Structure 1
Amino acid sequence: MSTVSAPRVLLVAVSPLGTPGLLGASTWDAVRQAGGVLVSLRDPAWRDLLTEAGATLLPAGDRSTDADTLTAALPEADLPEVTRPVGARIVWLVDAPDLDAATERALTAVRRIGLEDTDLRTLPAPADPPGAQLLRSVQIMDALRSPGGDAWSAGQTHRSLARYLLEESHEVLDVIEQPASHPAGALTDELGDILFQIVFHARLGQEAAEPWSVDDVARSLNAKMERRNPHVFGTATDTALEHRDDVEEIVAQWHGVKAAEGRPAGLLDGVPTRLPALQRAAKAVHRARSAGTLDALLATADRAVEDDPALAGRSVARALLDLVVEAEARDEDPESSLRTLLGRLGTDATRSPQGD
């Protein structure tokens, strides 16, 4: 059987955000059959994994994709010719989320040491899984907060960051409620600012007396979502709901699971006092309707208006509550609705009726 000549250099572009060892089966075959493997990867775990797999590791040089590194790793006398199709005299693993850019740098190195372009072949590693960029966000935050990083970031606390979380949240709301007033990509950008706050608080958590991290935040979220959505993640997904498309049944299930967790039972327990009044009222009405106590809530409100001197003559409060009940029945947030209306009014509402 005739053999097929293998490339002198097989370049494998590995994302620095990927899990060490995550390569396709054919790539691992090429690694094992190569005359030598050059590792230009920052994560030291790769070298241990490659050694365990039986690869012949070459000196890594300065771990960059350049001609000097390749020259040092390609002594013609030391590496036998490889004729297996998946083999190569050298498999070169490089940190490179961009295969095209990595290939161009490798071609430059190949040409400088006198080889032809055909002496280089490329093979991409598996694509990053969804969410891989979040790992980079965590790395960036860690670098900012660590010694030698950013002085401003090093001086922040949970309390000092609180105002930014509030500000960024309102900026997200502005984009959602007035998309025409913002450029394309604005929501992605503003949500990124929210994500930065979450990652920042999680980094501070690592320094607490009882440390916690962004993984604990994600673990808490994941557990809650899986617990409160048994029709999706439970052991009996087919029978968790009588009607899978019934949103009201899904909401009732959510509240049932939440009640079983021992969450606050009061209509306003756990609702932030700083939340706008219309939004707090909507939360109370939603809880009351879910619990079947909406009539009792309204009756209590009537008595309060009649008996509480502080509410005497303030029938507008009771009228607003009725509007909240009406909005909640339509699954409409009264706070957002009013804020959107005010945004539509713009500066026209402040102009004098007499003109300029």
Structure 2
Amino acid sequence: MDQRLADLDRRRAERPPRGVTGPQPLLTVLVTSPRVAAGLLSRDAWTALESAAQVLTADPDDPVPAAVAASGIDVAAAPYESAAESARALVAAAAERSIVWISSPDADPGLTDAIAEELTRLEDPPQIEVLVGSWDVPGARLLDAVAVMDALRSPGGCPWDAEQTHESLAKYLLEEAHETVEAIETGDTEHVAEELGDVLLQVLFHARIAADEDPGYTIDDVASLLVDKLIRRHPHVFGDGDASTPDEVERSWERIKAAEKSDRDEDDLLAGIPASLSPLLIAEKVLTRADRRGIQVSYDEGADLGGRLLALVAQARAGGVSADAALRATLREVARPPVSG
């Protein structure tokens, strides 16, 4: 927001209470989140709308103006070709009476700057406030991601996205997961955030493909299954479980998972571990499972290369180190070209 508009906004503290006639009318720019149900406005927002002499908006059919009109408050259309044009009209109207402008879903780009420019030209400008009527809740931008993915897969969207299948995308899911791990290990926070977005894209993509299938599922089904699983496997948080340490939580998770996958052979330490996983990670998971289940894994540390490798994985695990991550870090070091003197 333009600093001039922010300075003018500070005059709010000097105005009389709403509904009480003061020396100057008031121009209120009401901004809302397009990711929140249109009628869920703050008390201050409804008070401003009810006490205004006139409520204006560019398009009364937009969700928020439509919800306001449905409540019984008159909302007048004030379409405009340019932000400067609208600013002049709003400031002129506010010089005579209190006006509420309901911002469009795109927040009317350039309008607040244009209003600030118009107000600074006047010797005695009307009072101005920017009133936030609703805020994004945590995770609200995920709705945008779902909407964008839907547009890409819908008629008129991207032809490449439209022809993809679960099978054609499988390699990308694996690739993005590996790139995310690499970003984490390099410690680049911005890179991690970007790569996590790429992983999220794959989740959204697969769910959108499934939405067109019969039987299929949607992103809401995916989220619902995840929520159910998290609650079910965390009885110490959402139920009467008593796990209080990370080790106890892991053992509890293992027991609950085993009960859910009752068709698996409890003695098979490889059950459910993807064969495409790095062998070092598979070895680490097998040793971890054996430890949780109280199974003694028998192998000869010196008999063959496989036994020696497994012993190294066990040694790394005992030291709280991932053998897979340690090997990748070393590979990055040895693969760097020598620095010339």
TM-score (norm 2): 0.79
Q: How many Å apart are 1:75 and its aligned residue?
A: 10
Match of 2:149 among 137, 141, 144: 141
The range that moved more, 265-274 or 184-193, is 184-193
Distance (whole Å) between structure 2 residues aligned to residue 331 and residue 98 of structure 1: 54
| Superposition RMSD in Å | 3.7
Match of 1:190 among 189, 192, 195: 195
2:9 corresponds to which residue?
A: none
1:220 corresponds to which residue?
A: 225
Q: How many Å apart are 1:106 and its aligned residue?
A: 4.3
Distance (whole Å) between structure 2 residues aligned to residue 111 and residue 65 of structure 1: 16
Q: Which amino acid in 1 is paired with 2:33? A: S
Q: Which amino acid in 1 is paired with 2:112? A: T
1:341 corresponds to which residue?
A: 330
For residues 134-186 of structure 1, the C-alpha deviation after alignment (integer angstroms, 9 at most, x for no partner) is 1111121112121112122112111111222222222222222223xx6x622
1:272 corresponds to which residue?
A: 274
Alignment CA distance shift 1:68-1:115 (3 Å): farther
Indicate if the aligned counterparts of 1:13 and 1:98 stay in contact, CA closer than 8 A.
no
Q: How many Å apart are 1:108 and its aligned residue?
A: 5.9
Alignment CA distance shift 1:117-1:190 (3 Å): farther
For residue 76 of structure 2, give the secondary structure of its aligned residue in structure 1. coil
Between the two proteins, what is the percent identity of the paired residues? 33
Alignment CA distance shift 1:139-1:176 (3 Å): same
Distance (whole Å) between structure 2 residues aligned to residue 75 and residue 226 of structure 1: 56
Distance (whole Å) between structure 2 residues aligned to residue 248 and residue 91 of structure 1: 57
| Alignment pair present for 1:94 and 2:104 | yes
Q: Which amino acid in 2 is paired with 1:57? A: V
Indicate if the aligned counterparts of 2:59 and 2:79 stay in contact, CA closer than 8 A.
no
Q: How many residues align?
A: 319
The range that moved more, 34-43 or 262-271, is 34-43
Alignment CA distance shift 1:335-1:159 (3 Å): same
Distance (whole Å) between structure 1 residues aligned to residue 271 and residue 198 of structure 2: 29
Distance (whole Å) between structure 1 residues aligned to residue 220 and residue 123 of structure 2: 47
Indicate if the aligned counterparts of 1:13 and 1:102 stay in contact, CA closer than 8 A.
no
Indicate if the aligned counterparts of 2:58 and 2:77 stay in contact, CA closer than 8 A.
no
2:71 corresponds to which residue?
A: 53
Match of 1:29 among 28, 47, 58: 47
Q: Which amino acid in 2 is paired with 1:14? A: T
Q: How many Å apart are 1:41 and its aligned residue?
A: 6.8
| Alignment pair present for 1:326 and 2:315 | yes
Q: How does 1:12-27 map to 2 (within 5 A)?
A: 12-27=30-45
Q: How does 1:56-67 map to 2 (within 5 A)?
A: 56-59=74-77, 61=79, 67=85
Structure 2 unmatched ranges of 5 or more: 1-15
For residue 122 of structure 1, give the secondary structure of its aligned residue in structure 2. strand
Indicate if the aligned counterparts of 1:278 and 1:334 stay in contact, CA closer than 8 A.
yes
TM-score (norm 1): 0.76
For residue 103 of structure 2, give the secondary structure of its aligned residue in structure 1. strand
For residues 172-209 of structure 1, the C-alpha deviation after alignment (integer angstroms, 9 at most, x for no partner) is 22222223xx6x62211222211221111121121111
Structure 1 unmatched ranges of 5 or more: 83-87, 306-312
Alignment CA distance shift 1:127-1:197 (3 Å): same
Distance (whole Å) between structure 1 residues aligned to residue 282 and residue 64 of structure 2: 52
Indicate if the aligned counterparts of 2:91 and 2:126 stay in contact, CA closer than 8 A.
no
For residue 95 of structure 1, give the secondary structure of its aligned residue in structure 2. coil
Distance (whole Å) between structure 2 residues aligned to residue 333 and residue 34 of structure 1: 64
